[in-house]
Amino acid sequence: MEEVQRHSVHTLVFRSLKRTHDFFVANQSLLPEIDETLEKLKYNIKARDTYGLVFDRAAKAKALAAKRGDNDRIEGQHGGKDGVLAITAAGEQEGSAPDGTNGQMALVPAATPTPQAASSAVQILPKKAPTIPKPKWHAPWKLCRVISGHLGWVRCVAVEPGNEWFATGAADRVIKIWDLASGKLKLSLTGHVSTVRALAVSPRHPYLFSCGEDRQVKCWDLEYNKVIRHYHGHLSAVYTMSLHPTIDVLVTAGRDSTARVWDMRTKANIHTLTGHTNTVASVVTQAANPQIITGSHDSTVRLWDLAAGKSMCTLTNHKKSVRAIVLHPSLYMFASASPDNIKQWRCPEGNFIQNLGGHNSIVNCMAVNPEGVLVSGGDNGTMFFWDWRTGYNFQRFQAAVQPGSMDSEAGIFSMTFDQSGSRLITTEADKTIKIYKQDDEATEESHPINWRPEIIKRRKY
């Protein structure tokens, strides 16, 4: 058996390049001639498609400048030699003018502005150096309770508007309701045949909504603890849901790349929001426009018009899948999370505010309380606490897994603050629910803000 001669990768690549060149060199002269008219047409179409708004603005600016020029020319014809009239007082006091005109007002042409005066009028004022606001001090958070009872990954959590209990859904297909104060199990609801992925509690009705990987969306009547409605329509697993705060509308989304808007009572599918090209991982609703915001694995965030059922705006700043979106409870803003970073946006147009960098893992969930504490949970069990206004990361730690669990079961799947914002509830891959609270003994002296803004000084040449 002959021994095969080994070559370096460098040699092999160059051999392949030479072989390719020899193979295609005969076709060099067979290329078709370039039609300059078609090329010009192609570039015009591309420019109009990409920079159409810029062209329109430039045309409007030119038209406005021409209109102003015409107005100035007309005024010049009526206003004498230089077209500017100034009203000057002939005397300083009434009846005591030095030239005997009894203080009458006279129309005289104003002096033509000198080039120096004109240039000073449009002189650009120096900009002030941007000031970096100091972050607000927040007390650090600590673990105060671990609740176990589920037999699978705990995927979702929702707190009741009265702040007395909360519900969790897990891969064991069971929805469990827990007492918030004591952490004791109150009720278990069975009915799903696959992982429960999202929960929502209605603030106006005794209803609990759930959805899961079995493509089912259920409405539970909590007075009878049974399912009273099913919402059929999703073609694949349903990963997220949100209740509209003011109207009886439910929005669900999932792996079929769509978000569906349901009439809560009639079970009618009002809108099917299409546009995403991959799994929709997160959806939130609010009373003000945009009323629906979705984040998807196609790396985009979409803002939707609920009345029209159409996309108002698509935010493409993220480079990786967007798995979590959270609305600020009082500010007209929201945040979206991706493995590259967390981004803050201002409604209604989705104006970008700032990046929150440093959470270098898949961010599964986020939560924010009225005090401006933003929390993000990662797939590797890391939790980051941020000051919303400045983006300062004031605390980070690794969530402890249950004894006996594998290190890979450290993921945090969902989190939410209770109605007061003083308790943080997380659901994790080690089949537990953890409740965190602020450290009451912490002070600004014991836990100071480690704030070092980088001030870039511009050199003057």
Tens digit of each residue's pLDDT (9 = 90 or more) over 307-357: 999 999 999 999 999 999 999 999 999 999 999 999 999 999 999 999 998
pLDDT at 118 over 90: no
pLDDT at 241: 97
**In the chain, where are the structural domains located?**
142-438
Lowest mean pLDDT, pick from 80-84, 277-281, 338-342, 432-436: 80-84
Q: Where are the alpha helices (DSSP H) in 79-199?
A: 115-121
**164 beta partners:** none
Distance CA 29, CA 22 (A): 14
CATH 3.20.130.10 fits 142-438, yes or no: no
The answer to whether the peptide bond before residue 130 is cis (omega within 30 degrees of 0) is no
440/70: higher pLDDT: 440
pLDDT digits (tens, 9 = 90+) for 64-105: 888 887 776 665 555 444 444 444 444 444 444 444 444 444
pLDDT at 46 over 80: yes
The percentage of residues in the chain with a pLDDT greater than 90, rounded to a whole number, is 63
pLDDT digits (tens, 9 = 90+) for 225-272: 999 999 999 999 999 999 999 999 999 999 999 999 999 999 999 999
pLDDT at 152 over 60: yes
pLDDT digits (tens, 9 = 90+) for 382-397: 999 999 999 999 999 9
The percentage of residues in the chain with a pLDDT greater than 70, rounded to a whole number, is 83
Predicted TM-score of the model (pTM): 0.71
160 contacts 166 by C-beta, under 8 angstroms: yes
pLDDT at 145 over 90: yes
pLDDT at 121: 46
Residue carrying structure tokens 């196609």? 298
Lowest mean pLDDT, pick from 107-116, 154-163, 174-183, 269-278: 107-116
- Strand, helix or coil for residue 51: helix
Structure tokens at 321: 């899948």
